[in-house]
Structure 1
Amino acid sequence: MSKAQNKQMNLNLPTSAMQKLLRLCYIIPLVLILGCGGDKKKNPKQEETIPEQTEPSKLTEASENSTETILCFGDSITAGYGLEDSNDAFPALLQEKIDSLDLNYVVVNSGLSGETTAGGKSRIDWVLNQDIDIFLLELGANDGLRGVPLSETRANLQAIINTVEEKSPNTKIILAGMQLPPNMGQKYTTEFRELYAEIAEANDLAFIPFILKDVGGIAELNQSDGIHPTVEGHKIVANTVWEVLKPMLK
């Protein structure tokens, strides 16, 4: 229909009909915009630090399907910082191993880039709002790199463990140990490494002495920052975790 024809048709409509038509023309686009969520852009920082797997709906879905939950609670190593695909991070690789054995577990990635033990302590209550069968605790690297007093790191890790044991007594806990580069000072790095073993022994926890075993310090297995594992590095991390995790699965 030409503009002239359209204009002529509008002029011939009664006033009430014209008002209804105009109102309809306004409402339809508004409904479409609201239905599509306005196509809002995501915050790149949020995408980097909060992986999709941390959504409470993932945990709820697992609970409804009677699937047991393995929660990986950690920092950027767990989150898969720097990887193009979060499915290349070690929690997702653990899920692949579990699925290949047809085991009834879902692995939830609750890693947060930049997380410290203090940050983990502050969000642990929220995480424990759902049933968790196995809890992998991987925190402390950012404390060490910032030179946080070891007494503080120890206290925060113990507080997280205490909270899990109090709110979810049947949850099995795995503590992942971490080591620091030598430039942090021999005394600090030695005591930092040993505190994980001491905490694991004191709490009778399953223990991974060094989650970056055979990865840390190896240039080709780390990204350009020399800290975060590459895709190949995460495969090795997954195997390291699997050695401790597999015997705990039903």
Structure 2
Amino acid sequence: MRNKIVGDAAGKWLRTGLLVVSMAFSLNAHSASKVVLVLGDSLSAEYGLARGEGWVHLMEQRMAKENIQASIVNASISGETTSGGRARLPALLNKHKPDVVVVELGANDALRGLALSSTRDNLMTMTQNAQAIKAKVLIVGMQIPPNYGGDYTRQFSAVFPAVAKETNAALVPFMLKGVAENPNLFQADRIHPAPAAHPIILDNIWPEIKPLLVAK
């Protein structure tokens, strides 16, 4: 009888232990930290800003505030084009194994008057490369002033939603919504957003990236 009681107690202890271990694994899987790779240009590289004033750093702070477990790799470079991003991305994917990739490129293509077909092809390739390793992709759209010509301006703006639709990627329609129309939100060069603009930029990006961060 005593052996039976001991055996039953041991069995109960073992089952309880296994349940605790199972719950621990489940919890760890649910709360596992994600890696976010930001591939951008000067708008994401804190050009002209003090360290920590850019939207990428502000996003890191917001994730911590909302208890979202993720780390950010900011691979943005001032002056970067979609061609440069396309060339750099494979090594970044291999090194960091990101869960989410933010592609914020294209503005410098327009400033240099590059062919829109090339911009579209580069964005498409970067998105597909990231998706090939099971990363979720957020494409950050841009617009350019009308002085570039009506047709070019419209066609440029249309590139980003077209790529997002074809690849089923998430999309921020216009990164500088609420910023572009206010000269006081730009640095002296009239091109790069001032510190006060970056919380607005984050508010444009956050609703689209948060679902990617919390998705299982």
- The letter for the 2-side match of 1:122 is A
- Provide the residue aligned with 1:121 in structure 2: 86
Residues 107 and 142 of structure 2 are in contact (CA less than 8 Å); yes or no, is this contact kept in structure 1? yes
Distance 1:116 1:74 in 2: 9
Of 210-219 and 186-195, more deviation after overlay is shown by 210-219
Q: Which residue of 2 aligns with 1:162?
A: 128
Q: Cα offset for 1:224?
A: 1.0
Matched, 1:188 2:141: no
Identify the residue that residue 144 of structure 1 maps to in structure 2: 110
TM-score (norm 1): 0.71
Structure 2 length-normalised TM: 0.82
One-letter amino acid of the counterpart of residue 223, structure 1: Q
CA distance in 2, matches of 1:217, 1:124: 32
Deviation, 1:249, is 2.4
Report SS of the residue matched to 2:119. Answer: helix
Tell which has more relative contact order, 1 or 2 (C-alpha 8 A, sep 6+): 2
Kept after mapping to 2: 8 A contact 1:70/1:105? yes
Cross-structure match for 2:17: none
Equivalent residue, structure 2, for 1:103: 68
Instruction: Give RMSD over aligned pairs.
Output: 1.3
Match of 1:238 in 2: 202
Does the CA contact (< 8 Å) of 1:175 and 1:206 recur in 2? yes
Letter in 2 for 1:147: G
TM-fit CA distance, 1:102? 1.7
2 CA distance for matches of 1:67 and 1:249? 9
Offset of 1:144 from its aligned partner? 0.4
Contact 1:216 1:227 (C-alpha < 8 Å) held by counterparts: no
Deviation at 1:131, TM superposition (A): 1.4
Instruction: Name the CA distance, whole Å, in 1 between partners of 2:36 and 2:177.
Output: 21
- Given the alignment, which residue of 163, 170, 174 partners 1:206? 170
Asked which structure has the greater CA Rg, the reply is 1
Runs of 4+ in structure 1 off by over 6 angstroms are: none
2:193 corresponds to 1:229 = yes
CA contact 1:68–1:104 (8 Å) conserved in 2: yes
Which of 46, 55, 58 is matched with 1:93 structurally? 58
Q: Which amino acid aligns with 2:99?
A: D
Per-residue displacement from partner, 1:108-137 (whole Å, max 9, x unpaired)? Answer: 211100000110011011111221011111
Judge conservation of contact 1:91–1:108 (CA < 8 Å) in 2: no
Structure 1 unaligned runs (5+)? 1-65
Aligned to 1:11: none
Contact 1:144 1:180 in 2 (8 A): yes
**Could you say what secondary structure the match of 2:38 adopts?**
strand
Aligned length: 183
Rounded to whole Å, the distance in 2 between the matches of 1:139 and 1:101 is 27
Q: Distance in 2 between matches of 1:67 and 1:243?
A: 19
| Aligned 8 A contact 2:34 2:213 in 1 | no
How far the C-alpha of 1:67 sits from its partner, in A, is: 2.4
Q: Structure 2: state its 5+ residue gaps.
A: 1-31
Q: Distance in 2 between matches of 1:140 and 1:249?
A: 24
- Residue 247 in 1 paired to residue 211 in 2? yes
